[in-house]
Amino acid sequence: MKKRTKLQTEEGAAAVEFALIVGVLALLIFGMMEYGLAFTQLQSLKAGAREGARTAAVRATKPAIDSALNSGTGGSLSGYSSEVITVNGSTQSGSGPYCTNTTAGQTVTVTIPTGSGGSYPSELGSSIAESFRIDIPFMPHIDLHPTISGSFRCE
């Protein structure tokens, strides 16, 4: 039996292989975690927008719509009241109700703006803005600006 020299042994090969792959593994794991958090926040805000639109569709006033929107997010928003309300594509203002006898059957949409170009409305708060910022180690950050809206037909 031939004796192996120090250069021919395979001691430490697993450590070298692990060192080569751990960076890629960290990118995958942290990327999945960051995306999951952003997706969860997006779903929460979409639920709030849908709840606000449902409330608007049954002829509620702006304070009632704001309350429904805030409670529909499951705590993601509190005191937010600058959503964009449109009826049949036309932006509405005032205290509502936005659905009336003349708009029955038309679509009412409640939108939560997420900004563009790296800016978010200050009413959303820094925690929500940070939720849509994907930070993966060793990579540049990614800012997401999803469309968040809910639509119902006016009753």
Reported pTM? 0.79
Task: Spell out the long-range contacts of 117-124 with Cβ–Cβ below 8 A and sequence spacing 24 or more.
Answer: 118/143, 121/82, 123/80, 123/81, 123/82, 124/77, 124/80
- Paired tokens of 107: 């679509």
Half-sphere exposure of 116 (CA within 13 A, CB side): 2
DSSP-H helix ranges across 58-86? 62-72
3-class secondary-structure state, position 56: helix
pLDDT digits (tens, 9 = 90+) for 9-53: 777 888 999 999 998 999 899 999 999 988 998 999 999 999 999
Alpha-carbon distance 48 to 31, whole Å?
26
Q: Give the residue among 33, 26, 44 at the shortest CA–CA distance from 127.
A: 44
Q: Give the residue among 30, 20, 17, 16 at the shortest CA–CA distance from 138.
A: 30
Strands 107-112 and 84-87: antiparallel
Is 90 exceeded by the pLDDT of residue 7? no
pLDDT for residue 118 = 47
pLDDT digits (tens, 9 = 90+) for 105-145: 999 999 888 766 545 556 666 667 777 888 888 888 888 88
pLDDT for residue 93 = 84
